[in-house]
Each structure stands twice: as structure tokens, then as C-alpha cells.
């Protein structure tokens, strides 16, 4: 019998707040983090809005209470702060050690340092301390070091579904008894590398992103980090702690269609949602709210919207994309949106799909546009889809504790 | 829960692409790093598609196809890849154009620089909508992929998995990472790798794919029994404990191992770990090494699993990989132990 997986801690740092309380405050005020780029030096600064974390790397060092200037990438700093918050939120620092793992997701890794010093790397020895910071594993290993996690660590990169896949793996390892606790999530800093890349793909909106709007015109890139503490139910009972939600289901599917586009009818999205429901043993009608991937690109929102219609038929749950709050946090989006979904359970609310003015004529449903308070929410689904057609869907259940 | 190795595709600096052959000759190089022997990719990938692909992607798709054909499998239930560095060549293209102040980039290198490009390109090639993921954790990358596949067999959600480890090296990446002390400063002869006694490893590259099945079937090479990773052991005692715990979980002791594959890479600063185990707990075991044939790279254990699988299938240890000479027994249990810079350690157990 597979073990039940519950969530006992949350840590999040994004454009809408440097910790969980600030994040909740922004959500309740429907306050978006999208604005002008201040800390990343990019030629696209005036062309597109961004959801940048409003702190310099020095500020982040201070927030993380790190005194050594060392050679941290922005990615590592964001990750250390959010993972540290989740760890303390679950009070794991005060409990005896059970088998604990760290599964972290990123794609840009230490690219922010690498793109600054690439010329030095090629021509001189002045920036050698940043060479080993470049890869994806560096942030994971440094987070493992500060949290003293030794039993298992790995890093996942499946583009924009990365952090959802980290949660998925963590849940599977707990269910089979491989680990008792997992710190799972993702971290992604804005870099010129991927700002330029997304710009070259011509999928960045010049206005703040407008998911599911008829006039949507692309993504607004964001940054940040978000981690959840997953535990087996037995492990979670230790130490008189709060259980925030249960991870009831998960599913991953590959579209096998195109490296950067979804099938027009959202086949991969449908498969991922169906598989998550299958693992949970739930009927589609049980889902109260879908936190959609909803990037604001023409392609994603029609594919995801049609897949939702096919799966849920006449009884479509509340739907919204929260990317107009946080921007698209790419490899950290999966865990950030999992957290926002869980907050809907704990705070009895449905988050609005900001910036939606004109509903899409192709869809029969309209996402929620205003914050709905005092709404009972028992089951939420969180979708994350990435390049390579990598689609993951997670289902969280309100804790009965 | 174990999985059966039913098909293998390996592109490496040796002649390894034909699954019917087991190291018929050994390639000797004097080089800064060991480059793969490229097969004729056009036989595996449509030339129009191949033209846009970097070597990494071509290697990945081709070796995956070889493994699938070797196993006679049309559609795996999961595609799981590991790559320590992903697409180095495409990433460098972008950084070089950014360095030159160019703003309008061709999006192709950016799309391909994403780490899961190989696993998704394989999915597109096979039209496979099943579970698909990519691990990118230094020398845990391939091991994490194997662990995921074993877990899925245990969960009984898959019957087959296509699992691969892929990494490429470029001249620029060698130049850069040499500055950080990873590699030897001069070209070396790969077959004399241990004679230099200098810091730094000999770099390499390769792509190894395996078709794993949840049950025995004709043509199996061997059984992948278990995989374990451990991080920054405080001292050699801890490493020894990890090894003995791993074996005892699998109902084995060191004396029951018929061969031990060690990850010697020529770096005198870190090969000492193998020396100590080789003259310690493994002193009575047949020891095997392999990185003089493929070089050091984050997913080099893919080459080692290929080696172990073929040793079990052919019941023969090629002279070129023997580190010592112990009496030959029937070869049943092979343990692979690898570590990179005494930080990322892994154990892989393969049985007949």
C-alpha cells in the first residue's frame, strides 16, 4: 500500500513577496508583481514588462543572512531563501532526522554569472570561482549544504514543468518508503540568456501577460523560488505540526509533437490531467479549482482551455492562471503555483486571473476574474507544461486535520 | 525491485555502436579530451532534421534508437534521461552571440539548449506520450534516471523504460573548466592515463541508452538490481559504510562480488579514494576501470553499465579494462562504484 503524502511546510520568494506572509498579503490585495526590470541588465528592459524579484543580489545575501560574499548565483540565493523558509515553516530544524531528500528544479542554473563572465572564462583566470557555479546542480548542492540534507538529492530540468516534476518525484519516493521527507520545488532567476531566447521566439507580451484573454499576446517572464515540504503521514505526525494539504494525485505526459508548441487540441495537457485524476482515484467533477498553466501565449491557452473542456465537460471547475501575479517563473512555476493552489485550500479562496478583459471566443468557460473569498475549496489541480511538450498535473486535497 | 537490461545503444570514443560486438579493439588516443566516434547519423535521423541538431542531440537520438532496436521494443512506457551539462554547444553559440552584442538571436540554439531536448526529441521520434523526464545533477544525473526507472517498475506503472545518460565536450568548455582544475593541462595518452600522476582528469563524452524491462526476456544482458547515490561523505569510513550497507540491503557481501568497476579518471587528487578501497575492502576482488576508454564526464557511468552488462553477457573481461588479476570465477555480481571529486558518489549493482 502506498503511503499518503502530505504538505507540512511552504517557502516562496517571488515578485509578489519575499516570504509566505508577504505573498498571502499580495494575493489578498490582488496585487501583481509585474513591473519594470531594475536589477537585470537587459537590452529588452524597456520593451517588455517583467516580474522581477525586487531585490539586488546583495539584498538577497542579507535576507539569507549570509555573510560571506562568496560566489553565489542569483538562482542559488533565491533557492536558499525559499527552501530555508519551507524547512523552518515545517519546523524540520527542530525535529530528529528522518530520511530526508532534496529534489530541486532549475534550467538556467548559474547562467546569470556565466553570461556576465563568459568572456573572462575564455580569456583569463579572474573569474574562475564562478566556473563551477554555472550548472544546474550547484544551487541544489548549496541548498542541501545549508539544510544538511544528505540522504538523497537530485536536480530536474524539464523546462517550465520542472518544479512540478520535482514534486511528483518526491511524492513517489515517499509513497514507496524511499524517503520520509522531501524538500521539493524549484528556483529560477531572470537572465539575459533566457530573456533573449524567449524574445527570439517572439512569445513575450509587451503588456503584462493576459492569460485566457482573446487579445493575449504572450508571456511575462518572472523569477523566484518555491519549495514544499512533503512528508509521509507518519513522519508528519511527529512534533505536533500543522498539515496544510495532501498531495492526492500527479500525472506526467509528453506531447511528442513539437519542441516548443502544444498540439492545437491540448492532447498532452489532457493526458497529464487524466493521469493525475487516475492516481488520485477521483472523478473530474470532484475538482473545485484549476490553477491553469495559462501562460498567455496564443498556443498554450487555447490548447489547455480545450483540454479542460474535453475532460470536465459541462461541469467546469473554477479556473484561473496566476501568472499575472508572479509572471512566468519558468522552472520554479510548478512549485510556486502548487503553493498558490494550496493557499486556496487553506484560505478558502479562489485566486483571480488578473488582466482578463475579453474572454476567448473559442472557449465555453471564463476564468475567475475577481478574488473569491469564503469559498469552500476541497480539491485543486495545478497544471505545469513545458518545452518539449512536457506536461505535469498535480492534485492537492484540503487537510482534514 | 530490479529491472532487466534488454537493449543497449552506446556512442563513445570506442567502437561500441554495434551491440553484437564487445570491445573488439581498443582505441588509443593522445588528446586533450576523448571525442566520440560519430556513427553515420543519417542512417538514424532524417538529414533535414539532423542539420539543425547539435552533436549531443544526434548522439542521444541515435543511441536511443540502437537500444530500442537491440531490445526489439517499439514503444517504451517511460523515457528518462540524465545529462550533467546538457547542450554545451548550443549554449556556447548563444553566449558567443550575446558577447558580440547581437540581440536578434536565432531561436533554434535556445530551444535546443533546454536540458530535456533529448528526451523530448526521442519522444517525438517515437511518438511516445508516456512519462518523460530529465535529471541534471552532475554525476548523479544518470543514476537519478536509473533510480526513477527502478521506482516505476516497483510501482508497477511501467513494463519498459528507455533510460539514457548523455554529455558532450567542446573545445571551449574544456578550456573553461580546465581553469577550474577539472582536467589535465596537457594532452595525454589515454591508455597510459594513470602514469602521469598529475592533478586533473582526462575529459570525455558519450551517450548510453538502455532499454529496461520489468521482467526477464530473451537477449537480456543482466539485471540492474539497485542504484544508490550519496553526497559528500565526511571520510573514507563513511564511504565504506555506504558500500557495505548497500550490499547488505541487497543480501550481498563484498566477498560475493565477482568484479568491482572503479571510476579511476587519472586525477591523483581524487583517485586516492579508489586506491584506498582497492587495497582495502576490495583487495580480493577483480578490479576493473573504464575511464581511460571513454574519459571523465558526468554521465560516464552509462559507459560503465554498458561494460558491466557485456561482461556478464559474454562472461569475459577484456584485458584493457582489468586493473588487477584475480582468479576468474563465473561472473555473476558486479558492483560499480564511482565518485567525482569526492562529492557525488554512486553505487550500481548489476547481476547475471
Q: Give tens-digit pLDDT for A188-212.
A: 999 999 999 999 999 999 999 999 9
Residue A28 placed within a domain: yes
Whether residues A52 and A78 share a domain: the answer is yes
A328 is catalytic: yes
pLDDT band at A11 (very low <50, low <70, confident <90, very high): very high
Establish if A21 belongs to a structural domain: yes
For B98-139, the DSSP string reads HHTT--S--HHHHHHHSTTHHHHHHHHHHT--SEEEEE--GG
Last residue of a domain, one of A206, A237, A268: A237
And the C-alpha cell for A274?
Answer: 487524466
Proportion of chain A in helix, strand, coil states, percent, rounded to 5: 35, 20, 40
**Do A3 and A175 contact (CB within 8 A), yes or no?**
yes
Residues 62-121 of B with CB under 8 A from A: 79, 84-86, 94-96, 98-99, 103-107, 110-117, 119-121
How confident is the prediction for chain B on average, in pLDDT? 96
Residue A51 forms part of a structural domain = yes
Rounded mean pLDDT, B218-232? 97
Question: For residue A257, how far is the Cα from the chain centroid?
Answer: 24
- Say whether pLDDT at A275 is over 80: yes
**Complex ipTM value:** 0.97
DSSP conformation class of B42 = G
* Chain A nearest-CA residue for B346: A152
Place B329 in a pLDDT band, splitting at 50, 70 and 90: confident
Indicate which residue of A160, A194, A209, A344 is catalytic. Answer: A160
Note the pLDDT of residue A116. Answer: 94
Average pLDDT over residues B255-260: 97
| DSSP element (H, E) containing A118 | helix A111-123
B291-316 tens-digit pLDDT: 999 999 999 999 999 999 999 999 99
Q: Which domain holds residue A342?
A: 251-398
Is residue A303 included in any domain, yes or no? yes
Hey, what's the cell of B164? 539514457
Report if residue A244 sits inside a domain. Answer: no
Whether residue A185 sits in one domain with residue A55:
yes
pLDDT at A401: 63
Nearest partner of A211 among A342, A81, A355, judged by Cα: A355
Q: How many CB atoms lie within 10 A of CB A157?
A: 30
Task: Kindly state whether residue A243 falls inside one of the protein's structural domains.
Answer: no
**Domain B3-213 CATH superfamily:** Thiolase/Chalcone synthase (3.40.47.10)
Give the residue with greater pLDDT, A70 vs A266.
Answer: A266
Poorest-pLDDT segment among A307-316, A332-341, B48-57: B48-57
The CATH 3.40.47.10 domain(s) of chain B lie at 3-213, 222-351
pLDDT band at B318 (very low <50, low <70, confident <90, very high): very high
Residue A246 lies in a domain: no
* Mean pLDDT of the region A268-280: 97
Counting Cα atoms < 13 Å in the Cβ hemisphere of B83 gives: 30
* Same domain for A197 and A280: no
Instruction: Measure A332 CA to nearest chain B CA, in Å.
Output: 15
A285 and A228 in a common domain: no
- Candidates A392, A349, A342; CA nearest to A6 is A342
Interface touch B126/A119, C-beta < 8 Å: no
Identify whether the C-beta of residue A396 lies closer than 8 Å to the C-beta of residue A379: yes
Residues A152 and A289 in one domain: no
Mean pLDDT in residue range B136-164: 97
Instruction: Indicate whether A158 belongs to any domain.
Output: yes
Quick one: which of A105, A126, A156, A128 has its CA closest to A337?
A105
pLDDT at position A261: 82
Give B16 or A2, the one with higher predicted confidence. B16
Q: Do A231 and A338 have their domain in common?
A: no
Let me know whether A14 and A140 are in one domain: yes
Q: Is the minimum CB–CB distance between A118 and chain B shorter than 8 Å? A: yes
Annotation marks residue A209 as catalytic? no
Write down the pLDDT at residue B217: 96
Same domain, A21 and A140: yes
Domain boundary among A237, A262, A291: A237
Supply A106's cell numbers: 532549475
State residue A1's pLDDT score: 61
Percent of chain A scored above 70 by pLDDT? 100
Interacting residues of A319 by C-beta distance below 8 A, sequence separation 6+:
A212, A289, A290, A292, A308, A353, A365, A367, A368
Q: Which residue has the cell 552584442?
A: B101
Nearest to B175 among A106, A122, A197 (CB): A122
Q: Are residues A164 and A305 in the same domain?
A: no
A341 and A231 within one domain: no
Q: Look at A137 and B133 and tell me if their CB atoms are within 8 Å.
A: no
CA angle B44, B49, B54 (to 5 degrees): 85
Q: How high is the pLDDT of residue A259?
A: 82
Our CA-based measurement puts residue B18 at a distance from the nearest CA of chain A, in whole angstroms, of 28
Q: What is the mean pLDDT of residues A82-91?
A: 98
Per-position DSSP letters for A326-371, written without gaps between them: H-B-GGGHHHHHHHHHHHHHHTT-B---TT--SB-TT-S-----S-
How many domains, chain A? 2
Q: Which of B280, B210, B277 is nearest to B66 (CA)?
A: B210
pLDDT higher than threshold 90 for residue B72: yes
**Of A185, A202, A237, which closes a domain?**
A237
Pick the CATH number of B222-351 from 2.40.50.1020, 1.10.579.10, 3.40.47.10, 3.40.50.2300: 3.40.47.10
**Predicted pLDDT at B103:** 67
For the question of residue A39 being annotated catalytic, the response is no
Tell me the CATH number at A374.
3.40.47.10
Amino acid at each position: 500500500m502506498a503511503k499518503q503524502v502530505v504538505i507540512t511546510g511552504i517557502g516562496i520568494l517571488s515578485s509578489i513577496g519575499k516570504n509566505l506572509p508577504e505573498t498571502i498579503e499580495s494575493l489578498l490585495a490582488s496585487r501583481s508583481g509585474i513591473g519594470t526590470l531594475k536589477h537585470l541588465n537587459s537590452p529588452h528592459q524597456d520593451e517588455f514588462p517583467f516580474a522581477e524579484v525586487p531585490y539586488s543580489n546583495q539584498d538577497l545575501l542579507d535576507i539569507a543572512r549570509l555573510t560571506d560574499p562568496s560566489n553565489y548565483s542569483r538562482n542559488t540565493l533565491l533557492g536558499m531563501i525559499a527552501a530555508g523558509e519551507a524547512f523552518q515553516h515545517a519546523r524540520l530544524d527542530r525535529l530528529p532526522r528522518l530520511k530526508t531528500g532534496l529534489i530541486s528544479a532549475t534550467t538556467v542554473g548559474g547562467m546569470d554569472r556565466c553570461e556576465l563572465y563568459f568572456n573572462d572564462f575564455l580569456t583569463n583566470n579572474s573569474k574562475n570561482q564562478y566556473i563551477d557555479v554555472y550548472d544546474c546542480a550547484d544551487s541544489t548542492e548549496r541548498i542541501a549544504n545549508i539544510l544538511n540534507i544528505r540522504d538523497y538529492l537530485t536536480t530536474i530540468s524539464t523546462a517550465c514543468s520542472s518544479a512540478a516534476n520535482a514534486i511528483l518525484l518526491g511524492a513517489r519516493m515517499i509513497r514507496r518508503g524511499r524517503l520520509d521527507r522531501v524538500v521539493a520545488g524549484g528556483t529560477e532567476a531572470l537572465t539575459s540568456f533566457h530573456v533573449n531566447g524567449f524574445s527570439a521566439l517572439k512569445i513575450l507580451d509587451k503588456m503584462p501577460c493576459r492569460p485566457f484573454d482573446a487579445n493575449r499576446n504572450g508571456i511575462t517572464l518572472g523569477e523566484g523560488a518555491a519549495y514544499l515540504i512533503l512528508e509521509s503521514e507518519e513522519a508528519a505526525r511527529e512534533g505536533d505540526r500543522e498539515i496544510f494539504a495532501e498531495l492526492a494525485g500527479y500525472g506526467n505526459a509528453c506531447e511528442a509533437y513539437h519542441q516548443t508548441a502544444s498540439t492545437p487540441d491540448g492532447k498532452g495537457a489532457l493526458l497529464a490531467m487524466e493521469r493525475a485524476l487516475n492516481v488520485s482515484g477521483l472523478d473530474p467533477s470532484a475538482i473545485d479549482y484549476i490553477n491553469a498553466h495559462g501562460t498567455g501565449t496564443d498556443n498554450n491557452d487555447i490548447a489547455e482551455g480545450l483540454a479542460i473542456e474535453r475532460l470536465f465537460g459541462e461541469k467546469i471547475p473554477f479556473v484561473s492562471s496566476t501568472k499575472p501575479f508572479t509572471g512566468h517563473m519558468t522552472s520554479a512555476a510548478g512549485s510556486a503555483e502548487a503553493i498558490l493552489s494550496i493557499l486556496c485550500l487553506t484560505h478558502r479562496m479562489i485566486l483571480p486571473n488578473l488582466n482578463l478583459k475579453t474572454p476567448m471566443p473559442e472557449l465555453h468557460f471564463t476564468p475567475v476574474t475577481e478574488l473569491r473569498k469564503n469559498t469552500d475549496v476541497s480539491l485543486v489541480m495545478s497544471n505545469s507544461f513545458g518545452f518539449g511538450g512536457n506536461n505535469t498535473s498535480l492534485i492537492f486535497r484540503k487537510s482534514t486535520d | 525491485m530490479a529491472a532487466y537490461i534488454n537493449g543497449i545503444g552506446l556512442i563513445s570514443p570506442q567502437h561500441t555502436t554495434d551491440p553484437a560486438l564487445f570491445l573488439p579493439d581498443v582505441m588509443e588516443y593522445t588528446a586533450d579530451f576523448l571525442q566520440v566516434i560519430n556513427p553515420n547519423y543519417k542512417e538514424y535521423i532524417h538529414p533535414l532534421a539532423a542539420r539543425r541538431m547539435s552533436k549531443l542531440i544526434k548522439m542521444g537520438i541515435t543511441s536511443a534508437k540502437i537500444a530500442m532496436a537491440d531490445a526489439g521494443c517499439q514503444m517504451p512506457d517511460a523515457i528518462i534521461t540524465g545529462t550533467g551539462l546538457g547542450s554545451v554547444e548550443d549554449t556556447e553559440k548563444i553566449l558567443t552571440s550575446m558577447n558580440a552584442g547581437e540581440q536578434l538571436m536565432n531561436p533554434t540554439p535556445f530551444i535546443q539548449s533546454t536540458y530535456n531536448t533529448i528526451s523530448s526529441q526521442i519522444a517525438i521520434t517515437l511518438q511516445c506520450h508516456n512519462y518523460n523526464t530529465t535529471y541534471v545533477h552532475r554525476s548523479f544525473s544518470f543514476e537519478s534516471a536509473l533510480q526513477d526507472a527502478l521506482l516505476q517498475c516497483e510501482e508497477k506503472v511501467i513494463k519498459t523504460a528507455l533510460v539514457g545518460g548523455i554529455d558532450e565536450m567542446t573545445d571551449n568548455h574544456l578550456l573553461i573548466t580546465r581553469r577550474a582544475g577539472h582536467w589535465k593541462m596537457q594532452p595525454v595518452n589515454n591508455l597510459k592515463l594513470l602514469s602521469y600522476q598529475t592533478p586533473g582528469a582526462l575529459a570525455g563524452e558519450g551517450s548510453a541508452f538502455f532499454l529496461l524491462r520489468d521482467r526477464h526476456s530473451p537477449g537480456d544482458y543482466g539485471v540492474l538490481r539497485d542504484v544508490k547515490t550519496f553526497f559528500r561523505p565526511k571520510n573514507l569510513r563513511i564511504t565504506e559504510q555506504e558500500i557495505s550497507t548497500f550490499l547488505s540491503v541487497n543480501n550481498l557481501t563484498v566477498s560475493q562480488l565477482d568484479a568491482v568497476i572503479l571510476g579511476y579518471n587519472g586525477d591523483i587528487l581524487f583517485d586516492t579514494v579508489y586506491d584506498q578501497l582497492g587495497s582495502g575492502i576490495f583487495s580480493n576482488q577483480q578490479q576493473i576501470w573504464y575511464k581511460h576508454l571513454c574519459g571523465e564526464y558526468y554521465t560516464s557511468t552509462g559507459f560503465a553499465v554498458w561494460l558491466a552488462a557485456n561482461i556478464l553477457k559474454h562472461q569475459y573481461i577484456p584485458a584493457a579494462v582489468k586493473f588487477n588479476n584475480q582468479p576468474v570465477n563465473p561472473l555473476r555480481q558486479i558492483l560499480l562504484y564511482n565518485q567525482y571529486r569526492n562529492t557525488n558518489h554512486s553505487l550500481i549493482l548489476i547481476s547475471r
